[in-house]
Chains A and B, each alone.
Chain A
């Protein structure tokens, strides 16, 4: 039996989902809404007009499932991947395992708490529905196989909810999710004004400023700057955590960083257990000293 994968064009997470699908054995068939390129054996291109409509995407998946009778449907663990597969699960009245990191037979390992905890669970008999946890798999490489086109039959209700307008972001500075360096502050920064020393260092490094939830709840920074389980997930070369204690929900957002430098006054702070480099002391003394040292090194 084959495995069906939901492909979004130009989506790294979809290529990761292909890797999970390959691990299940059997041929891998893809479904995309409109043209896409992916290393699958057969790509079924659904002809669905217009902007994104989760119901229409789900209807297309369900109709292809009926035709191909795959053993599993895998989607990327993206907002849309999780959304479309939940629609499919509701339509077929089947369980759905979201953010799976591994599958063995009918058992899955999946992420809870934004990846701070894993759950081993059994999916019952029949068609398995799962999404691939982001960055738990290498992206699949290779050439695309055959392409087939199909036109799913859509009901009016399938397209009742759809994107009616897409608004561009205000282009201000380096985006948190893409930044090579993130200088992030927590309660220890003490105030909105206290972030000036983080801004200065981030500016010198061409990086972005992030923060913990305590900071956004206090209104010191906008939620767009929050790193963590309910904020942005970042994966810079270097994450500098300043005055952040290291709660699991914060770590969930920065564990993708290549290296973590923690600056904290408390030598026992949990953040040090997640850090590659540690500086113990007051961030308000240490950050200006680092910025000054950087300037000095550059002038030399």
Chain B
């Protein structure tokens, strides 16, 4: 099995989002970075499949030079190598998909290509689907269950009333959601090994955006001041009184 997973570096925003002065980006000076939990589950799933069936897991990202950090984190989970399309700019979904398609074609064939259901920051809900059309591959989205065997994938989505099941032949593309599995915490030796795994980096130029970002805006807060009901267990009667007033007690 050859499996490719596409991941994107995003800031860990914490309790409050602060924008840069020009309103074009999140102020990240004091922030750490990660990938979407959806994508982390994608990497874990790919590694488990290859651990069980043999093969190779490749992680692919389009992002700034620092995104190598995220590729190394994926390799600490167990991915074998990384492909890094280096660009400091933010790309729209169409341009992102086109760049990923080119990189995937150069490394093809893959049996399975894994995306997050949506990126944590942009939330475009579409890059995986665009890549599938460009490569002429079947795609199933939003998976919380995946079984790959005998050249086929059985894929499960969660619905309000249970699960919807799909079956597709490989090669195929899937997009996954957190909850698909519980990703491992990489061990220290795994992290050290990851530092020695190969990453192929290549600078790429951004084409014009067709969904053109003008500015970011932090939504107005609730503008409310919390009513302090008390400190410690002595607050219990006041809490119950509120619950009664809300009609939930």
Most chain A beta-carbon contacts within 10 A, residue among B134, B215, B226: B226
B244 CB, min distance to chain A CBs, angstroms: 8
> How many residues belonging to A are interface residues under a CB distance threshold of 8 Å?
91
Measured between alpha carbons, how far is A169 from B164 in the docked complex, in Å?
10
Kindly list chain A residues whose C-beta atoms are within 8 Å of the C-beta of B168.
Answer: 160-161
In the complex, the answer to whether A279 meets B178 with C-beta atoms within 8 Å is: no
Chain A: which residue is nearest B92 at the CB level?
A95
Is A122 positioned at the interface, with any CB of B under 8 Å from its CB?
Answer: yes
Is A24 positioned at the interface, with any CB of B under 8 Å from its CB?
Answer: no
In the complex, the answer to whether A113 meets B226 with C-beta atoms within 8 Å is: no
B211 CB, min distance to chain A CBs, angstroms: 4
Is B32 positioned at the interface, with any CB of A under 8 Å from its CB?
Answer: no
Chain B: which residue is nearest A160 at the CB level?
B138
In the complex, the answer to whether A90 meets B133 with C-beta atoms within 8 Å is: yes
Bitwise interface map of A from 113 to 124 toward B, beta carbon under 8 Å scored 1, else 0: 111111111111
Which of the residues B167, B229, B248 comes within 8 Å of A279, measured between beta carbons?
B229
In the complex, the answer to whether A205 meets B123 with C-beta atoms within 8 Å is: no
Stretch at the interface among B62-70, B193-201, B231-239: B231-239
B:207-249 near A, CB below 8 Å: 210-219, 221-222, 224, 226-237, 239-240, 242-244, 246-249
Kindly list chain B residues whose C-beta atoms are within 8 Å of the C-beta of A288.
Answer: 233
In the complex, the answer to whether A112 meets B122 with C-beta atoms within 8 Å is: yes
Which of the residues B134, B179, B219, B224 comes within 8 Å of A223, measured between beta carbons?
B179
Is B93 positioned at the interface, with any CB of A under 8 Å from its CB?
Answer: yes
Is B130 positioned at the interface, with any CB of A under 8 Å from its CB?
Answer: yes
Kindly list chain A residues whose C-beta atoms are within 8 Å of the C-beta of B122.
Answer: 112
In the complex, the answer to whether A238 meets B243 with C-beta atoms within 8 Å is: yes
Is B187 positioned at the interface, with any CB of A under 8 Å from its CB?
Answer: no
Is A187 positioned at the interface, with any CB of B under 8 Å from its CB?
Answer: no
In the complex, the answer to whether A280 meets B210 with C-beta atoms within 8 Å is: no
In the complex, the answer to whether A112 meets B123 with C-beta atoms within 8 Å is: yes
Given contacts A96-B93, A117-B218, A276-B227, contact A86 B233 (CB under 8 A): no
In the complex, the answer to whether B222 meets A237 with C-beta atoms within 8 Å is: no
B150 CB, min distance to chain A CBs, angstroms: 16
Chain B: which residue is nearest A162 at the CB level?
B166
Kindly list chain A residues whose C-beta atoms are within 8 Å of the C-beta of B126.
Answer: 82, 86, 89-90, 96, 98
Stretch at the interface among B51-59, B81-89, B154-162: B154-162
B199 CB, min distance to chain A CBs, angstroms: 26
Measured between alpha carbons, how far is A247 from B11 in the docked complex, in Å?
13
Bitwise interface map of A from 97 to 112 toward B, beta carbon under 8 Å scored 1, else 0: 1110000000101011
Stretch at the interface among A14-22, A29-37, A144-152, A226-234: A226-234
B186 CB, min distance to chain A CBs, angstroms: 13
In the complex, the answer to whether B142 meets A79 with C-beta atoms within 8 Å is: yes
Stretch at the interface among A38-46, A60-68, A188-196, A290-298: A290-298
A-B contact pairs, 20 of them (CB 8 A): A83-B142, A95-B210, A98-B126, A99-B125, A123-B211, A161-B140, A165-B164, A166-B164, A166-B165, A180-B248, A216-B182, A229-B120, A230-B120, A246-B15, A261-B239, A274-B221, A280-B230, A290-B236, A292-B236, A294-B243
Known pairs A117-B219, A121-B212, A121-B213; list 10 more (Cβ under 8 Å): A94-B210, A113-B121, A118-B216, A122-B214, A165-B165, A219-B182, A238-B243, A249-B13, A277-B226, A281-B233
Residues of A within 8 A of B (CB): 52, 54, 79, 82-83, 86-87, 89-91, 93-99, 107, 109, 111-124, 131, 160-169, 177, 180-181, 205, 207, 213, 216-217, 219, 223-224, 226, 229-231, 237-238, 245-249, 258-259, 261-262, 270, 272-282, 285-286, 288-290, 292-294, 297
